[in-house]
Amino acid sequence: MTDVAGAPGTTDRADAPEPAGERRGSEALHFARRNPKLLIGSGIVLAFMLLGFIGPFFLSDNPNEYVGPQTQPPNGEYWFGTTTFGQDIWAQFVYGVRSTFVIGLFGGGVAFLIGMTVGFVAGYKGGIVDDILNMLTNVVLVLPAMVVLIVAIAYLDVRGLFTQGMFIGLSAWPWAARAVRSQTLSLATRDYVDLARLSGRRTWRIITTEVAPNMSSYLVMSFILLFGGAVLTAAGLDFIGLGPSNGVSLGAMLQSAVNWSALQLGMWWWFVPPGLGITAIVGALYVLNVGLDEVFNPKLREL
């Protein structure tokens, strides 16, 4: 016998309450579509990402190839002009954007994984484990990261993007670990976590299913900040000559422009595009992060 909707003893599915998780997700999506900072920031980041990963397929395999006349300003054939050696700056810029995203994703990802692991374990376990991991975090935190990176990378005979990203990630995780630890200390005392612990569930299962989902928005924003930090650190290393040995990056373009007196020669098209590219990517990541904060934090929403 089929129940009639609305009859006594039955529940109309249309009137059934929406699950809390779905309600929060739909609410966040509602505000995300109306947040200009989030839309602008994500749009700029997506545009540069598409340029970096799709653009090289339409260009020469070697961006350092001498393809045209020297010191040409931007024109219809060479959109960003050429260097003093006749290299196409547009091709270098496209490949440099790709390197920027690779180093940001890899370096930021390494820092994110280490920071999240240390923060979750220290905050959940507490006691002697927390003391040891907190001491390790503080030791790495007080080290001059840029100096350590310069010394470490300078002794490498061959430097690649992933090697550079690994060193950046190994030095950038402490602040994220401290922030995640403080959040985990608060969540670890909640009733639902105690119930999961009493049920005999493993530590990592409790962290991944009970603790981490309740701070997912914070984790996303932490990764974005680590991404931007990795981009800036890589640009600084590239600018002082410690970038990829045979690759092209936006920081390496700035270094070449300085080494060959582009500013003195009035070749603004050599150093302005990579400088603006780095600024636009990092700035867009910051705006994106602010937009996400407004979406996830009800107190900051612009109603």
Distance CA 119, CA 109 (A): 15
Distance CA 101, CA 123 (A): 31
Q: Which domains does the chain have, with CATH numbers?
A: 47-60+79-179+217-300 (1.10.3720)
Q: Closest by alpha carbon to 38, among 295, 293, 291?
A: 291
- CA of residue 50 relative to chain centroid, distance: 16
State the pTM of this model.
0.84
Q: Which two tokens stand for residue 183?
A: 């959040």
Q: Which two tokens stand for residue 108?
A: 């930021």
The answer to whether 294 and 301 have CB atoms below 8 angstroms apart is yes
Return per-residue pLDDT of the chain as tens, 303 residues: 444 444 444 444 444 444 444 555 566 676 677 788 889 999 999 999 999 999 999 887 788 888 878 888 998 888 999 999 989 999 999 999 999 999 999 999 999 999 999 999 999 988 899 999 999 999 998 888 778 888 888 777 767 888 889 999 999 999 999 999 999 998 888 888 888 888 888 888 999 888 988 888 889 999 999 999 999 999 998 988 887 777 789 999 999 999 998 988 899 999 999 999 999 999 999 999 988 888 887 666 554
